[in-house]
Amino acid sequence: MPFQAPEIAIFAILAAYLLGAVPFGLLFSRWLSGKDPREHGSGNIGATNALRTGGKKVGVLTLLADISKGAVAVGLAMAWQDDQLLVAAVAVAAFLGHIFPVYLKFKGGKGVATMFGVLLPWLPWVAVSAFIFWLLVFKSTRYVSLASVVAGVLLPVLAWGLGLLEVSSSHTVAVAVSTVLGFFMVMRHMENIRRLISGEEPKTGA
């Protein structure tokens, strides 16, 4: 059933952005360790820097929360209306909320966990496939940033390839959204890419 009420669609997209913008890395770090991740390590509020700043518990909680906020936003949109464009808009809004949170003057995370979150309920095989590639790269290199960049680059390819058996408007939307998510993920890792090239990027768990 197509979405018929533009004002409600706008509300859903705005709500998804505001949910995505909740800085769980900052909240958990301050609550459990008394530290601000923006003042340590890479200065990022995502799970990796939350782990380095506040410890394993903070990192795991941040990871789960950042995934969950994306999954909840998209899951509610899917349950509410059978409209691929609305779901796509909500997914992008929640993802961009994490990267550009209004609560932190639009200085947020890099979007990896939230990317997985928004795709899990909507395009689960794309999310799982991207995670497998992420895990393979991370296990072989111990670079979270490199694994994230590879996942971002492959995201639209996976959406295209896994949807070939069902070429439709929803397939086109999925590829378009995956391209947007992948683009922003790579762009948010440009500093990491420069450090990888120069050999200055820190490894995780090495």
The alpha carbon of 200 is separated from its chain's Cα centroid by a whole number of angstroms, namely: 24
Residue 165 binned pLDDT confidence (cut-offs 50, 70, 90): low
Which residue type occupies 40? Answer: H
State yes or no: pLDDT of 109 exceeds 50. Answer: yes
Q: Quick: pLDDT tens for 23-71.
A: 999 999 999 998 989 888 778 898 888 988 888 999 999 999 999 999 9
Q: What is the pTM of this model?
A: 0.91
Q: What angle do CA 89, 76, 74 make, to 5 degrees?
A: 40
- The answer to whether the CB of 123 falls within 8 A of the CB of 47 is no
Tokens of 170: 């929803």
Tokens of 198: 């120069």
Q: Quick: pLDDT tens for 118-147.
A: 999 999 999 999 999 999 999 999 999 999
